[in-house]
Structure 1
Amino acid sequence: MIPPRRTPRSRRTAVTALAAVTALLALNAPACASAHTAGGGEDPRGHCASSRQSDRGSARDILRIAEQAKRELKLKSVILRVTDDGRDVVTSALGESMTGVPADPAMHFRNGNIAISYMGTALMRLVDQGRVDLDAPVSRWLPHIPHGEGITLRMLASSTTGLPDYVPAPSFQQAVTANPFRQWTPAELVAISTGQKPWYEPGTNWNYSHANFVLLGAALEKITHTRLDVLLQQEIMGPLGLRETRNSFTPEIPEPALHAFTADRGRYEESTFWNPSWTTAPGAVQTTDICDLARSAAGVGSGELLSRAAYEEFLNPGTVGLGHPTATCPATVCLAQTEGTHYGMGVIVLNDWISQHPLFFGYSASMAYLPSQSLAIAVSTTQDPGSVDGHTAHTIVQRIAAALTPDHPIPDFG
């Protein structure tokens, strides 16, 4: 089901429900972090900043939910932003970036697979412009890819190619654990996937595979004769006004940087500058801040840059009903795609919400957008020793959504 687009309404009912949900928390919740002297989520210099009045109303209640989640999940930091039809409801940061360094909304963190939603949107913009056919074989632009004549652009963007994911491959896991600073090339990454037998015939099933998006980035460059970072700036970040979202071909994070820590290698250590070159296509390995993440949720989730027809295909390119476990594609990777919960073109449709939630060595982030109410939720988290594993930012987004819009819960996905 395609959700309606940008139909704002009063949030009195949702705020009343939120106040009731959080009333029980108020007796035990500590005071929220003090707000910066700024309004609208930006300081006078245009930097992302805490809301001026985060100590009252729905902003206060959202922060209580975040504070409780931070304690329960044992998180080092939680940075969040909620907007209603583009207007700031609350923007704040809880906890620390490093010992003695408070977290701040202006801090930059890894954008991860949020950039995949940009690539999917960029592809659909090319369709809108009449520059490309979704069902054209990728061999037209990437002739050396095995079985490329049977794989289409649609399949790359919707992750239905049958290519195994290189991330869980033992050879990759061993290599990245031994040297998390290694610079990976697209050829090395794709070779891990194409060196394995396809899990199914292209277009007949679904599984998340990072290789699909490495190849999609390469195809977009060939189609447009434009470097991917430049293309995404022209087609996505520029039009959406994402001033703090940018690519880097190194592990650099612009200052101020949110620092990350993880125990993934058996000891709690800093992972801020571990190399993210393996996460997606070169040119889409990005950093962002929480204001841009919330803006991305709204811009991508509403289909702001797309025609109605392209937006509908973006949300469901034919993935509903796919995701059948087989002998070569187990249930852990071939996840069932239902009408309400399925993968689009670089986004996840979770009932009425359009979402994406990256996870990278100590960093977790999540964006979610409810088109019927123009509500955007963005959260970024980092880990303390003993933190709960997994998509902790998405867990907090789910809790905020359950309080704000109890009739529109966000389910789990993957």
Structure 2
Amino acid sequence: MRIRIRRGLPRRTLRAVATTVAACLTAALPVTAAPAAPRQPADLAARLDRVIQDTATRAGVPGVIVGLWRQGQPRYVRAFGLADKDACTPMRPDLFMRIGSETKTFTVTALLQLVDRGAVGLDDPIADYVPGVPDGRHITLRQLAEMRSGLFPYSADTGFQHLLQTEPHRQYTPGELLAFAFAHPNRFAPGTQFDYSNTNTVLLGLVVEKVTHRALRDDIRDMITRPLGLDRTFLPRAAEFPSPHAHGYTDQTPTGAEADATDFNPSWGWAAGAMISDLEDLHAWAADVATGRLLTPQTQAERLAAVPTPAPGDAYGLGIDINHGWIGHAGSLPGYQSLTIYLPAQRATLVILLNTDIRSNDENPSTLLGRAITQVVTPGNVYADASDQN
């Protein structure tokens, strides 16, 4: 859920990172989630340690949590760096983290459960559920879920961008978010192009609420997280953030200076990007969403009938990304990035959680880490840039 692009890290930021790491050297050592648990073979674990630390250091990442699980192999769980730079608090694998656009996988799963119940149809027009959508009689729920509606992304509106940077604690309603989008003409005719837009998923969140007559956060809890035992995953009402959690660092400020975004209000992402989770819950969710545990086989097949995106080797299904064989989603919002993906061919799961969204050489640090790790463990399926789908 990026708002603006910044190329590379300025020298002053690199110097600050180096100074912080030097001052908190002991906190930068790796930490395992369960020291007594079996680990990867020593040579592979050591290689992953080096690759992750080197990549995170080059990208200026304060702290990162990584979990890798593969069928028949011991798990690899580590936390590197700092959860709080001021207090020199080390990152830990059990911290709550904001997960940005991974929220889309939950919102669309709730919608698809309603499809399975016969309460909605994927080819229903959005105008049947939400009034005032430009060309809403010709935009279907399927096109919204697969990012082919043509609706303008509200997060690209300059007025919204200004408010996000100058009033980061502001509480937004879905209607306010959509007003930013609907002030612009649609970008193309429905179904003719791919264009990643948070507007689409906010509308789908409203559809779920319209059908269930309940708040989306309650639907996600009762339809998804509670049945699956994801007790540390939820959609917040505002800026609440349970402890323990990592501090997040962003450069999405009026001057571009780094700021602590921990208490920024994520309501601007709502159904598209406001959720909170942790490593172990996302480990379980990765396989559940990729294999359609909560859906009928027919609906899951429709979900995975992905449309190619402009990025080579990447395609987007119904609220889910398929990237060089990996199924899942990335997430980004001020201060935090995440990546949760599942590789069916090897029954492998990779979860990456980090406490910055500051780009490095025009790439998301989550992408850099995902690529570096998969180059080591799945060289035939290397995660790559998914057209900045965060």
Superposed displacement of residue 216, structure 1 = 0.4
Q: How does 1:112-123 map to 2 (within 5 A)?
A: 112-123=100-111
Match of 1:285 in 2: 274
Aligned partner (choices 209, 213, 219) of residue 221 of structure 1: 209
Distance 1:104 1:222, change over 3 A: same
Q: Any conservation in 2 of the 1:246–1:286 contact (CA below 8 Å)?
A: yes
**Cα drift, residue 353 of structure 1:** 1.1
1:205 aligns with 2:178: no
2:259 alignment counterpart: 269
1:98 paired to 2:84: yes
Pair 204,66 (structure 1): closer, same or farther in 2 beyond 3 Å: same
Residue number in structure 1 paired with 2:373: 400
| Letter of the structure 2 residue corresponding to residue 316 of structure 1 | A
Match of 2:53 in 1: 67
Partner of 1:302: 291
Shift of 1:111: 1.7
Q: 1 or 2, which has the higher helix percentage?
A: 2
Runs of 5+ unmatched residues, structure 2: 1-27
Partner in structure 1 of residue 301 of structure 2: 312
Aligned positions of 1:149-298 closer than 5 A: 149-265=137-253, 266-281=256-271, 285-298=274-287
Equivalent residue letter for 1:400: I
The count of residues paired between Structure 1 and Structure 2 equals 357
Contact between 2:150 and 2:188, CA under 8 Å: does it hold in 1? yes
- Deviation per CA, 1:125-160: give whole Å up to 9, x if none: 222233321101122221333322212111111121
Aligned-pair CA distance for 1:215: 0.7
Corresponding residue SS for 1:258: coil
Aligned to 2:209, what secondary structure does the other structure show? Answer: helix
Query: Deviation string for 1:247-292 (max 9, x for gaps)?
Result: 211111110011011223222221111111111339x721111122
Q: Which runs of 5+ in 1 are unaligned?
A: 1-30, 40-50, 321-334
Q: Give 3-state SS (helix, strand or coil) of 1:367's partner.
A: strand
Percent of matched pairs sharing the same residue: 30
Amino acid at match of 2:259: E
TM-score by length of 1: 0.80
Alignment of 1:21-40 (within 5 A): 33-35=30-32, 38-39=35-36
Distance change (3 Å), C-alpha of 1:146 and 1:86? farther
Matching residue within 110, 114, 117 for 2:98 = 110
- SS in structure 2 of the partner of residue 291 of structure 1: helix
Q: Check if 1:345 corresponds to 2:318.
A: yes
Question: Would you say 1:124 and 2:112 are equivalent positions?
Answer: yes
The alignment's TM-score, normalised by the length of structure 2, stands at 0.84
Asked if the contact 2:84/2:90 (under 8 Å) is kept, the reply is yes
- C-alpha separation in 2, matches of 1:86 and 1:256: 32
Deviation per CA, 1:324-349, whole angstroms, max 9, x where unpaired?
Answer: xxxxxxxxxxx5377x4211111111
1:77 aligns with 2:74: no
Structure 2 CA distance, aligned partners of 1:53 and 1:389? Answer: 34
| 2:293 match: secondary structure | coil
Does the 8 Å CA contact 2:99/2:331 hold for their aligned counterparts? yes
**Please, what is the CA RMSD of the aligned residues?**
2.5
Tell me by how many angstroms 1:87 deviates: 7.5
Q: Check the 8 A contact 1:32/1:64 in 2, yes or no.
A: no
